[in-house]
Structure 1
């Protein structure tokens, strides 16, 4: 989020410097700033939700859990199709 904020601010500075600032750029910057500030204000709730954990860790945890389930089964393969 901080990276996104810095990129937005650098794009805003460049458009101000080149004198091509438009209304849509101002609205975009305002809405992004509100979104990012809201994220940091409610950050503790964002990182503790199950959807955040499942989306970010699903691929790695599924590989790990599949490997643990198959360990010790010999040549038997689990058919999940």
Structure 2
């Protein structure tokens, strides 16, 4: 985090912070998890926000786009890079 914020501040660049999480692997009878999805997602959003808060305070000049996604980190980051390249921002 420190490296990312330091480089964004030095370059005057925006920072895209991506927090990924995965649903717990469960077996049969897992339907009872369905009502918890929103609660889990909200908890993960809080984790991401809490993690970024001290860095946003230390580097207030850095614009941060925050994304929270349920998925595998590699796939999510690759997809984000593809979107940036498609927009011509890379």
- Assess same fold via TM > 0.5: no
- The answer to which structure has the higher helix fraction is 1
TM-score for the superposition, normalised by structure 1: 0.29
The structure with the largest alpha-carbon Rg is 1
